[in-house]
Amino acid sequence: MGDFRVKEVMTREVVRARRDTPFKEVARLLAEHRISGLPVVDDQEKVVGVISETDLLYHQVRQDPDRRHRRFHVPRPNRSARSAAAKAWARTAEQLMTRPAFIVAPEQHVTDAASMMDLHHVARLPVVDDEDRLVGIVTRGNLLKLFLRPDAEIGRDVVDRLVRGIDCPRYEVDAAVADGVVTLRGHLARRGDARLAARIAGQVDGVVAITDHLTYDSDGLRP
């Protein structure tokens, strides 16, 4: 993932809850819109937390009448366990939500969003403006759509970036793309240029893998 910004892949029409949205209304919103989570906003549309399906499932665990008769290991209570216990009795979105919410800005690169999702083990990120007001949401599904870019579009993007990145004429490099796999061919002046070309191509949005058939004149590394 390279030049794409969050604003280019995010969903702009966002299903959201308010602090005082009842538990059942939150459940209805998730089911009706077939989503696995949503942000919670205040009266100024500023994001104050997020709710996932897991947060609602704590209620189901509490209501299981047979759970106390089963034998299982009970870990010592920690912050996460105490939070889960509190959510099991939640009545409103504010009591259900996880805070603080991990957020992202529209102008950030999609790589930033992907890294944040991976780091914090979340499936969605509310997108906020300069005043922290909700303007969209980006999900793992949004990011995966980048791999659906047409091969021809990816090929043009790769060549454009190579021409700029290694300062070479367009005729010196060729990028054939099949199912997202880029095959680089051409002859460059330096080994360093060939290495750099492969790295640049691999950063283009939608590229699945690189097959490098570039050749070069000398062993000199690029200054």
pLDDT tens-digit profile of 91-140?
A: 999 999 999 999 999 999 998 999 999 999 999 999 999 999 999 999 99
At residue 65, does pLDDT exceed 70? no
Topology at the third CATH level for domain 149-218: Histidine-containing Protein; Chain: A; (3.30.1340)
Reported as a pLDDT band with limits 50, 70 and 90, residue 67 is: low
Q: Domain residue spans in the chain?
A: 6-146, 149-218
Q: What homologous superfamily is domain 6-146 in, according to CATH?
A: CBS-domain (3.10.580.10)
d(CA 95, CA 87): 6
Contact assessment for residue 111 and residue 1, using Cβ atoms and an 8 Å cutoff: yes
Mean pLDDT for the stretch of residues 131-151: 92
- Return the higher-pLDDT residue of 220 and 18: 18
DSSP-based three-state secondary structure for 176: strand
Mean pLDDT for the stretch of residues 212-218: 88
Among 79-83, 160-164, 183-187, name the one with the lowest average pLDDT.
Answer: 79-83
How does the average pLDDT of the chain come out, rounded?
Answer: 86
Q: Which of 207, 189, 197 is nearest to 166 (CA)?
A: 197
- pLDDT at residue 220, as a whole number: 52
d(CA 169, CA 179): 26
Reported as a pLDDT band with limits 50, 70 and 90, residue 148 is: confident
- pLDDT at residue 177, as a whole number: 96
Instruction: Mention every residue, 6+ apart, whose C-beta is less than 8 A from residue 81.
Output: 75
Reported as a pLDDT band with limits 50, 70 and 90, residue 84 is: low
Give this prediction's pTM: 0.70
Mean pLDDT for the stretch of residues 148-160: 93
